Amino acid sequence: MKFTDEQIRHLADAERMMDSGESGFVRLGGGRLMASPEVMKHFGLKQGQTITDTIFCAILEFNIARICEDIAGKATDDVLQRAQEAAAKDRPNKS
C-alpha cells in the first residue's frame, strides 16, 4: 500500500501527539495504537499498556458502534431537516 505525503504527515502528527502525551495510546504487537480518552476510560486502559488481540477487537467494536451512532444521528437530522423544508414549502403564504 502506497501512502501519500499528506497521509504520512498525518501519521507523523499522530506519533508526535502520542510522544507528547496529547493523545492516549496502547501497544499491540510492538506498535502503538492511538486511543481516545473515551476508549481508555471505557476499557480501563492505562497509557502505553500492552493489549491483546481480544482487547483490540473489543476496541474496534466499540469504535464501530460509536461511528454507527454518529451516522444514524446525522441521517436522522438530515431527514428531519428535509421534512421541515418540504413542510415549509407546502405551507400557504399568509400575506
Contact assessment for residue 86 and residue 80, using Cβ atoms and an 8 Å cutoff: no
pTM value > 0.75: no
Determine the pLDDT at residue 83: 79
What average pLDDT score do residues 30-38 get?
95
The string of pLDDT tens digits covering residues 40-95 is: 999 999 999 999 999 999 999 999 999 998 888 887 877 778 878 877 777 766 55
The grid coordinates listed for 29 are: 504487537
DSSP letter for each residue of 69-92: HHHHHHHHHHHHHHHHHHHHHHSP
Using CB atoms within 10 A of its CB, is residue 42 exposed (0-12), middle (13-18) or buried (19+)? middle
